[in-house]
Amino acid sequence: MINHDSISYHSAATEVVNELTRYLQESQAGTTPVVQLRSMAELSKEMNIEGLIRHGGLDLDNLGEFLRKYLDNSMHMHHPNYIGHQVGVPHPAAALADIIHGLICNPMSIYEMGPSAATIEQEMVRWMLEKVGWQESGAGLFTHGGSLANVHAMLAARAVSDPEAWVKGVKKELVVLAPENTHYSIARAVSITGLGSGAIVPIPTNKYEVVESEKLEALIQDQKNLGKEIMAVVANACATATGLYDPVDEIADICLDNKCWFHVDSPHGATAILSGKYAHLLKGIQKADSMIWDAHKMMQTSSLSTGLLFKNKKHYHGTFAQKASYLIHEKENPGYDVLPYQIECTKTAIATKLFFVLAAIGEKGMADFIEKLYNNSRDFAKIIHNRPGFSCDIPVESNIICFRYKPETYNQLKLREKLIKTGEFYITSTEVKGIRYLRLVVMNEGTTSKNIEALLDKIEEIASE
Ligand SMILES: Cc1ncc(COP(=O)(O)O)c(C=O)c1O
């Protein structure tokens, strides 16, 4: 039996690390399927889930076997043919932070429950603020994911537009202007703030679903004429489907002129700010009021780890107005409690994962990483577009590529379904302006043009069957 003593822990953890090492080697070498999609009933039976829950019995003799089944039936993110979702491929250094937290469990929302983790979170926030240009004026924190960070940002914007709403509910006619293709978490966030998702007014986008900033000014005036108050304007940096960036700089100026809160929804694309070559995609972001930045997308940590940043400290401090006497009280505190300023109560050491990656590769290493993925994606798009039958009509700005294969003949969703069933590749699919595309998100440094050529071969083969 795996029990509480340290020798048992060491043996079991060694077994886990051995299995994970095998998993990493096979994944990186591409000698295993990317993913095998079997039914839940099958997997539950194979891993003896019911038996283990009822009777226990996971021990050093069968742990390895259990792990092999578990890992073999997992998504292999480190596989070069994993080109699917905007989910970061964890750097082994980040994985160490998960091992550490898994044992010591320091929920660091209040400093005394995790001084090291709380210190690192503040330092990581400081680092992010500096990159955005808000080091003097700003403040922020880490949340469990970008969706939650968006809720938080909308609540902060609401506290500015309608300070009474916290106690009395929303009484004003508030609206949020967000791109037609805004991520669904924004709609949820707006609804959660009590405005109702109907309070979202879509900002028109062009044929690539990029905001047409020249139409924003008129939209703001229309809403004001209707007696509405703009609680926030949201931009994508970058958009989920296409990876294209909205013109942040232009939108920021319009928001400044109209005194509107500007939120940049940039969980994926914010990391480009580290790159001398691609930072221009976020030009003007320092003029926004809030932004979100996922480490678990482009900064190689496991899920979840999101930085939520405010330009103005006052907005960070002013979002919530609550008391929890067992947690929030006067005390001699050598550190800093983030709890009064966040949605979560208990929170894991999420910033530590990012710290471990940076501590291993440095910010230059991170900049090189994102440049490599963005550069590779441009090359891959050319390869795809040049192959007869394939078209890649949407420009590539980040590491997301939308393409189609003979759309007049083949249903793109069916192609994807068949492709995934082979276990050889994992890709996704999306709609842009109502047109269905196959979609690649290049998250692995190990994905090369050879993998892309092989992918195209496979799609042709599947189509011809
Ligand atoms: C533009 C945008 N906003 C928000 C989110 C939600 O972030 P998370 O998955 O970290 O909750 C995503 C996720 O893909 C996104 O692309």
* Rounded Cα gap, residues 311 and 254, in angstroms: 17
Domain limits, CATH 3.90.1150.170, in the chain: 359-464
**Is residue 146 lining ligand 1, measured as CB closer than 6 Å?**
yes
Task: Return the CATH number of the domain spanning residue range 101-357.
Answer: 3.40.640.10
If you measure from the C-alpha of residue 306 to the centroid of ligand 1, how many angstroms do you get, rounded to a whole number?
A: 10
Is residue 393 classed exposed, middle or buried when 0-12, 13-18 and 19+ CB atoms within 10 A define those classes?
Answer: middle
CA-CA-CA-CA torsion sign (33, 35, 40, 43): positive
**Is residue 109 lining ligand 1, measured as CB closer than 6 Å?**
no
- Mapping DSSP onto H, E and C, the string for 331-379 reads CCCCCCCCHHHCCCCCCCCHHHHHHHHHHHHHHHHHHHHHHHHHHHHHH
Contact, 231 vs 157, CB < 8 A?
Answer: yes
If you measure from the C-alpha of residue 146 to the centroid of ligand 1, how many angstroms do you get, rounded to a whole number?
A: 5
Determine the residue of 143, 147, 182, 238 to mutate for testing ligand 1's pocket, defined as the one with the most ligand atoms within 8 A of the Cβ atom. Answer: 147
- In this structure, which residue's CA is closest to atom 8 in ligand 1? 146
**Is residue 185 lining ligand 1, measured as CB closer than 6 Å?**
yes
* Rounded Cα gap, residues 380 and 385, in angstroms: 9
Using the atom order of ligand 1, give the atom closest to the CA of residue 148: 11
* Rounded Cα gap, residues 152 and 263, in angstroms: 11
Picking from 185, 86, 100, the residue whose alpha carbon sits closest to that of residue 143 is 185
Token pair of 424, please? 């050889």
* Rounded Cα gap, residues 152 and 307, in angstroms: 11
Determine the residue of 294, 306, 354 to mutate for testing ligand 1's pocket, defined as the one with the most ligand atoms within 8 A of the Cβ atom. Answer: 294
H or E segment and range at residue 140: strand 139-143
Using the atom order of ligand 1, give the atom closest to the CA of residue 268: 16
* Rounded Cα gap, residues 98 and 54, in angstroms: 27
The reported pLDDT for the residue numbered 327 is 63
Q: Half-sphere exposure of residue 105, counting CA atoms within 13 Å on the CB side?
A: 3
* Rounded Cα gap, residues 44 and 46, in angstroms: 6
Token pair of 237, please? 């940096």
Q: Half-sphere exposure of residue 431, counting CA atoms within 13 Å on the CB side?
A: 8
**Three-state DSSP state, 177:** strand
Contact, 429 vs 459, CB < 8 A?
Answer: no
Token pair of 117, please? 């983790």
Contact, 83 vs 425, CB < 8 A?
Answer: yes
The reported pLDDT for the residue numbered 197 is 84
Domain limits, CATH 3.40.640.10, in the chain: 101-357
- In this structure, which residue's CA is closest to atom 15 in ligand 1? 240
Contact, 159 vs 318, CB < 8 A?
Answer: yes
**Is residue 398 lining ligand 1, measured as CB closer than 6 Å?**
no
Residue 304 backbone dihedrals phi, psi, to 5 degrees: -120, 150
Q: What is the pLDDT along the chain (465 residues), one digit of tens a residue?
A: 889 999 999 999 999 999 999 999 999 999 999 999 999 999 999 999 999 999 999 999 999 999 999 999 999 999 999 999 999 999 999 999 999 999 999 999 999 999 999 999 999 999 999 999 999 999 999 999 999 999 999 999 999 999 999 999 999 999 999 999 999 999 999 999 999 989 999 999 999 999 999 999 999 999 999 999 999 999 999 999 999 999 999 999 999 999 999 999 999 999 999 999 999 999 999 999 999 999 999 999 999 999 999 999 999 998 987 666 666 667 778 888 999 999 999 999 999 999 999 999 999 999 999 999 999 999 999 999 999 999 999 999 999 999 999 999 999 999 999 999 999 999 999 999 999 999 999 999 999 999 999 999 999 999 998
If you measure from the C-alpha of residue 183 to the centroid of ligand 1, how many angstroms do you get, rounded to a whole number?
A: 7
If you measure from the C-alpha of residue 137 to the centroid of ligand 1, how many angstroms do you get, rounded to a whole number?
A: 26
Task: Return the CATH number of the domain spanning residue range 359-464.
Answer: 3.90.1150.170
**Is residue 147 lining ligand 1, measured as CB closer than 6 Å?**
yes
Using the atom order of ligand 1, give the atom closest to the CA of residue 296: 10
* Rounded Cα gap, residues 400 and 394, in angstroms: 10
If you measure from the C-alpha of residue 406 to the centroid of ligand 1, how many angstroms do you get, rounded to a whole number?
A: 30
CB count in 10 Å sphere of residue 53: 8
CA-CA-CA-CA torsion sign (209, 303, 376, 288): positive
